[in-house]
Amino acid sequence: MARRIAAGAAYGGGSIGLLGAAAAGVLLAEVQLAKRQVGGGTAPVPPSADGRYGVAFTGPADPLRLGLLGDSTAAGQGVRRAGQTPGALLASGLAAVSERPVDLRNVAQPGARSDDLERQVSLLLADPARTPDVCVIMIGANDVTHRMPATQSVRCLTTAVRRLRTAGAEVVVGTCPDLGTIEPVYQPLRWMARRVSRQLAAAQTIGSVEQGGRTVSLGDLLGPEFEANPRELFGPDNYHPSAEGYATAAMALLPTLCAVLGLWPETDRLDGARREDMLPVAKAASQAAKEAGTEVTGARAPWALLKHRRRRRLPPATEPHPHPHPEMHGEAGGSTRVERRPGTGTDTSPRHA
How far the first Cα of the chain sits from its last, in Å, is 26
141-173 tens-digit pLDDT:
888 878 888 899 999 999 999 999 999 999 999
184 pLDDT above the threshold of 70: no
Q: What is the mean pLDDT of the chain?
A: 76
pLDDT attached to residue 342: 42
Which range of 138-142, 220-224, 315-319 scores highest in mean pLDDT? It is 138-142
227 pLDDT above the threshold of 70: no
The more confident residue out of 341 and 142 is 142
Q: How confident is the model at residue 343 (pLDDT cuts 50, 70, 90)?
A: very low
Of the listed 153, 240, 286, 308, which one is catalytic? 240
The more confident residue out of 85 and 350 is 85
pLDDT attached to residue 174: 94
Which range of 178-192, 204-218, 224-238, 275-289 scores highest in mean pLDDT? It is 204-218
Residue 43: which of 314, 245, 322 has the closest Cα? 245
Annotation says 72 is catalytic: yes
pLDDT attached to residue 291: 82
Residue 153: which of 282, 342, 2, 320 has the closest Cα? 2
74 pLDDT above the threshold of 90: yes
21 pLDDT above the threshold of 90: no
Q: Cα 59 from chain centroid?
A: 31
Question: How many whole angstroms separate alpha carbon 220 and alpha carbon 177?
Answer: 7
Question: How many whole angstroms separate alpha carbon 243 and alpha carbon 83?
Answer: 9
H or E element: which one contains 277? strand 277-280
pLDDT attached to residue 83: 92
Residue 254: which of 321, 176, 172, 164 has the closest Cα? 172
Of the listed 72, 197, 217, 286, which one is catalytic? 72
Of the listed 48, 115, 237, 347, which one is catalytic? 237
pLDDT attached to residue 19: 47
The more confident residue out of 98 and 24 is 98
56 pLDDT above the threshold of 70: yes
Q: How confident is the model at residue 280 (pLDDT cuts 50, 70, 90)?
A: confident
Annotation says 237 is catalytic: yes
pLDDT attached to residue 330: 39
27-40 tens-digit pLDDT:
444 544 444 554 44
